[in-house]
A and B are shown apart, each in its own frame.
Chain A
Amino acid sequence: MGRFLIKFTKEGEIRYISHLDLLRVFQRAFRRTDVRLRYSQGYNPHPKISFAMPLSLGFESRGEYVEIETESGHGPEQIIRELAESMPRGLQVLACSPLAETSKTSPGAAVEFASYTAEYRGDDAAMRDSLVAGILPFLGEKEIISVKYSKKKKKDIETDIRPSIRSLSSASDTRLLLTMMLKAGNVGNLNPEQLVKALCRFCGREYLEYEWRYRRLDMFFRDGKGRIRPLTDFKG
């Protein structure tokens, strides 16, 4: 009997499973434990599980969130323990916190930012220097136009993504590892891949999808005082 927000990872092989498959994985994982989920009413009842924000297929994550409602009286610690034994490889439960029983906003709807890394795994040695040098001038642009094909409108859509970039930097080790904080959620959501593509174009470099590996680090919301805080602190 409760609402909980569970933080978990999606790493390794399992990053290739879709949102729908992930939902089934969680449903089954719970069925393997003693934790009973609450079911929706109606003709076709389904367990109350909802993910905070979909993750692109192939992305890894250290900061995924799922909201659940339970029937059984398990506490957060017990839920973590039970799930830990029941999850497949790559899905690791990091935290579980109670949410207020009656709240209007879901954690998913509260998300405003998400942080990511983008790792270059190709073998073009000049890529690193070129992109690292490009970051500052890139961010200095007033407008960064990104073109993206819209399936709905069946044509290319131009958007200015600059307002959606809160930060972008490169870790100073030998690899090319970009770290970024981007707008997420309903307004101004920016996919890190779109940003990396734009950066590559800005630097005159070719973007090859399979050379990059993305990882979400965490999701953030704005608390009552307007401060940006990780979603684990969200209480509903």
Chain B
Amino acid sequence: MDLSDKIEKLLTRVSKPASYMGGELYSVLKEPEDVELHFGFCFPDLYEIGMSYLGMQIIYHVLNEQPWIWCQRLFAPGTDMEALMRSEGVPLFTIENKQPAREMDILGFTLQYELSFTNIINMLDLAGIPVLAKDRDDTMPVIAAGGNCSFSPEPLADVFDFFMLGDGEDVLIEVSEAVREYKRELSGMQEPADTADGLRPKERLLRKLAGIDGVYVPSLYEPQYAENGCMTGHRKLWDGAPDRVVKRFVMDMDTVSYPLRPIVPFTDTVHDRSVIELFRGCTRGCRFCQAGMICRPVRERSPEIIKEYSYNSLKNTGYDEMSLLSLSTSDYSRIEPLVRDLMQGCRAMDVGLSLPSLRLDSFSEEILKEIMGVRKTGLTFAPEAGTQRLRDIINKSITEEHIYTAAEKAIRLGYSNIKLYFMIGLPGETDEDLDGIAEIARQITAINREVSEKKGRFNVTVSVSNFVPKAQTPFQWAAQDTPEEFNRKHLYLKDRLKMKNVSYQYHGTETSFLEAVFARGDRRVGRALIRAWELGCRFDGWTEHFDYSKWLQAFRETGVDPDFYAHRGRAEDEYLPWDLIDCGVSKEYMLKEKHRSEEGLQTRDCRKGCTGCGIKRYQECPVYEQGANYS
């Protein structure tokens, strides 16, 4: 019985069969014999999560544009499907052609969040592929990773053959070419360029990959540790390995390939709509934000291209909703005319336009009314901290005045749902900052009582997450609060927020703790990860699957002390496990930002003048070039 028959037999018995069947509009089929390289794009979470991720659509498109590459998709199966796959002997398979993952030449995982790491291990195991890179021979696919978590790669360094850093569009093709050559060499179609080097083909491949900009091959380095357990450096195992790996940049957003025929899933996914990326990067410099650091510099798409893409993408997909994507929509340089044009276009096509992370102060009253008219999402603000003092420390430029004026505007326009995002456990936080959170919520309800003409329902939701210090940020040296401290703060807040029309949401502290361990881990924490998976952990980001006791057991059994990673402040001169990785923003700059934060000083949004983040060591910075227009 062939694999697709076997799979079919399972589908009548699982809860979401369509997640495994493929066949969606614009999914790509090719003749296996016609392509030279089989690329398996792996998303280590459920189908409906992965399919909402624009990065997947971009990579799928960029790879499949090449006639010699066939990129197919693989997702983490749901637990019901996994149980059946294991009992019936069905290996992890591609959605498109129902091919075993092992038949791929490259399996490329996207690392979006730490809590998906056990799913990676699980997917490799389901594929029948040894989890550790050192146990895989030439018959196995090459296992690669990209995405945000690659900027702190050490926890997974023993698993992956290589990591790709930064924008994927170009580097993916370059690594695919290298793997194609490796395959030819393996099949004897091609003599290796230099046979005198005495290397196995896989070794030769890894060295070649290490020579590609933006590629980190962990097996070419050996981590060094001091007596006290801190890391002291990476020792090169091959002289040719680069001293530092600098991320890749795609600079021209107008010419880079974009999926105008994205796969349209049949089932309801998390974000079931057409998505147009406005720009990459962010100039604000919030000190806790990893994306804000690792995605620099800001690179915008021109309004003409955005409008053209919007129209084509809607026409091709038939979606009745469109969303704009970036780290901060309002910061797009020509946002007002763009939004006006898009709203007009969407109205003509009977499409709802959603504008996430929009700051109201950047709009005139007139367009605001229009926006409010079509917006489907509620109004949200992210002050992140409860007092101006703490907002200065974290470099969040929003002021209470901003919030109150915008909230007033919104309430006058008939809004009755306001959501506020905060973080607790930030460096320098005191209970007064928690009081500040409650105060902001109280003020907004007061504004509502004052200005609202409607008597009806009004709600302020205060959503509080736990600060996780991230690598490659000015807070990378900080200690995380203990779960006990987080819980105390949550109770404190819960008490203070017992107000009419205010509801309080908060995140589990145990998962935040785990995140902190893996966000700044070294290679040793990988052992605990694998042990936790052996004990049955997967889908750790899903409350119904998360099992903290198993994690504690895994740490215990592998001798990994999670507190060492989560709760220990790092010395400024300590070698950090990710120091080998250069995200474009320099370590000196982050240190400078750390010091400014300690002095309670804000650093300006660099559109108002360059603040010297270090990008210009590698690239012309478009923000810097335009600087004169702003300052």
Q: Which residue of B lies closest to A58 (CB)?
A: B12
CB distance from B204 to the nearest CB of A (A): 40
Q: A12-B23, A14-B266 are in contact. Are A210 and B9 (CB under 8 A)?
A: yes
Report whether A28 and B318 are in contact in the complex, using a CB–CB cutoff of 8 Å: yes
Q: Which residue of B lies closest to A30 (CB)?
A: B318
**In the assembly, what is the distance between CA of A211 and CA of B6, in Å?**
10
Interface string of B579-616 (1 = CB under 8 A from A): 00000000000000000000000000000000000000
Q: Would you call A17 an interface residue if the criterion is a C-beta within 8 Å of the partner chain's C-beta atoms?
A: yes
CB distance from A186 to the nearest CB of B (A): 26
Q: Which residue of A lies closest to B95 (CB)?
A: A13
Q: Which residue of A lies closest to B1 (CB)?
A: A123
Q: Would you call B134 an interface residue if the criterion is a C-beta within 8 Å of the partner chain's C-beta atoms?
A: no
Interface string of A8-37 (1 = CB under 8 A from B): 000011101110010011011111100000
CB distance from A64 to the nearest CB of B (A): 15
Report whether B320 and A210 are in contact in the complex, using a CB–CB cutoff of 8 Å: no
Which residues of chain B have C-beta atoms less than 8 A from A25's C-beta? 266
Choose among A12, A13, A24, A32 the residue with the greatest number of B CB atoms under 10 Å from its CB: A13
**In the assembly, what is the distance between CA of A30 and CA of B319, in Å?**
10
Which residues of chain B have C-beta atoms less than 8 A from A210's C-beta? 8-10, 12-13
Q: Which residue of A lies closest to B265 (CB)?
A: A21
Q: Would you call A209 an interface residue if the criterion is a C-beta within 8 Å of the partner chain's C-beta atoms?
A: yes
**In the assembly, what is the distance between CA of A28 and CA of B264, in Å?**
10
Q: A28-B264, A32-B317 are in contact. Are A16 and B10 (CB under 8 A)?
A: no
Selecting from B14-22, B39-47, B50-58, the interface stretch reads B14-22
Q: Would you call A136 an interface residue if the criterion is a C-beta within 8 Å of the partner chain's C-beta atoms?
A: no
Query: Which parts of A191-235 form the interface with B (CB within 8 Å)?
Result: 209-211
Report whether B267 and A17 are in contact in the complex, using a CB–CB cutoff of 8 Å: yes
Which residues of chain A have C-beta atoms less than 8 A from B446's C-beta? none
**In the assembly, what is the distance between CA of A166 and CA of B366, in Å?**
67
**In the assembly, what is the distance between CA of A71 and CA of B152, in Å?**
55
Q: Quick one: which of A13, A24, A211 contacts B22, CB cutoff 8 A? A: A13
Report whether B268 and A16 are in contact in the complex, using a CB–CB cutoff of 8 Å: no
Report whether A32 and B315 are in contact in the complex, using a CB–CB cutoff of 8 Å: yes
Q: Which residue of B lies closest to A213 (CB)?
A: B8
CB distance from B347 to the nearest CB of A (A): 15
**In the assembly, what is the distance between CA of A210 and CA of B266, in Å?**
23
Q: Which residue of A lies closest to B268 (CB)?
A: A21
**In the assembly, what is the distance between CA of A101 and CA of B266, in Å?**
31
Report whether B17 and A57 are in contact in the complex, using a CB–CB cutoff of 8 Å: yes
CB distance from B274 to the nearest CB of A (A): 11
Our count of residue pairs bridging A and B at CB distance below 8 angstroms stands at 62
**In the assembly, what is the distance between CA of A17 and CA of B25, in Å?**
13
**In the assembly, what is the distance between CA of A160 and CA of B60, in Å?**
53
CB distance from B178 to the nearest CB of A (A): 33
CB distance from A63 to the nearest CB of B (A): 20
User: Chain B contact residues (Cβ within 8 angstroms of A): what range?
Assistant: 20 to 34
Q: Which residue of A lies closest to B17 (CB)?
A: A16
Q: Would you call B24 an interface residue if the criterion is a C-beta within 8 Å of the partner chain's C-beta atoms?
A: yes
Report whether B23 and A14 are in contact in the complex, using a CB–CB cutoff of 8 Å: yes
Which residues of chain A have C-beta atoms less than 8 A from B25's C-beta? 28, 88
Which residues of chain B have C-beta atoms less than 8 A from A57's C-beta? 12, 17
Choose among B9, B264, B267, B318 the residue with the greatest number of A CB atoms under 10 Å from its CB: B318
Which residues of chain B have C-beta atoms less than 8 A from A16's C-beta? 11, 17-18, 21
Report whether A209 and B11 are in contact in the complex, using a CB–CB cutoff of 8 Å: no
Q: A21-B267, A58-B11, A209-B13 are in contact. Are A32 and B316 (CB under 8 A)?
A: yes
Report whether B318 and A31 are in contact in the complex, using a CB–CB cutoff of 8 Å: yes
**In the assembly, what is the distance between CA of A88 and CA of B318, in Å?**
12
Q: Which residue of B lies closest to A17 (CB)?
A: B266
Q: Would you call A90 an interface residue if the criterion is a C-beta within 8 Å of the partner chain's C-beta atoms?
A: yes
Q: Which residue of B lies closest to A211 (CB)?
A: B9
Report whether A17 and B12 are in contact in the complex, using a CB–CB cutoff of 8 Å: no
Report whether B22 and A29 are in contact in the complex, using a CB–CB cutoff of 8 Å: no
Q: Would you call A89 an interface residue if the criterion is a C-beta within 8 Å of the partner chain's C-beta atoms?
A: yes
Which residues of chain B have C-beta atoms less than 8 A from A30's C-beta? 318
Report whether B12 and A31 are in contact in the complex, using a CB–CB cutoff of 8 Å: no
Which residues of chain B have C-beta atoms less than 8 A from A29's C-beta? 318
Report whether B18 and A18 are in contact in the complex, using a CB–CB cutoff of 8 Å: yes
Query: Which parts of A44-85 form the interface with B (CB within 8 Å)?
Result: 57-58
Q: A30-B318, A32-B318, A210-B10 are in contact. Are A13 and B268 (CB under 8 A)?
A: no
CB distance from B7 to the nearest CB of A (A): 11
**In the assembly, what is the distance between CA of A25 and CA of B24, in Å?**
10
Interface string of B262-290 (1 = CB under 8 A from A): 00101110000000000000000000000
Query: Which parts of A85-106 form the interface with B (CB within 8 Å)?
Result: 86, 88-90
**In the assembly, what is the distance between CA of A16 and CA of B12, in Å?**
8
Choose among B10, B25, B316, B319 the residue with the greatest number of A CB atoms under 10 Å from its CB: B25
Q: Which residue of A lies closest to B5 (CB)?
A: A121
**In the assembly, what is the distance between CA of A24 and CA of B320, in Å?**
10
Q: Quick one: which of B13, B23, B267, B315 contacts A13, CB cutoff 8 A? A: B23
Which residues of chain A have C-beta atoms less than 8 A from B320's C-beta? 27-28, 31
Which residues of chain B have C-beta atoms less than 8 A from A14's C-beta? 21, 23, 266
Query: Which parts of B172-231 form the interface with A (CB within 8 Å)?
Result: none
Q: Which residue of B lies closest to A25 (CB)?
A: B266
Which residues of chain B have C-beta atoms less than 8 A from A211's C-beta? 9
Q: Which 6 A-B pairs have the closest CB atoms?
A: A13-B23, A28-B318, A31-B318, A210-B9, A16-B17, A13-B21
A-B contact pairs, 13 of them (CB 8 A): A13-B23, A16-B17, A16-B18, A16-B21, A27-B318, A28-B264, A31-B320, A58-B11, A86-B318, A88-B24, A209-B12, A210-B13, A211-B9
Known: A24-B268, A31-B318. 11 other contacts (CB 8 A): A16-B11, A16-B18, A18-B18, A29-B318, A30-B318, A57-B12, A58-B11, A58-B17, A86-B318, A209-B13, A210-B13
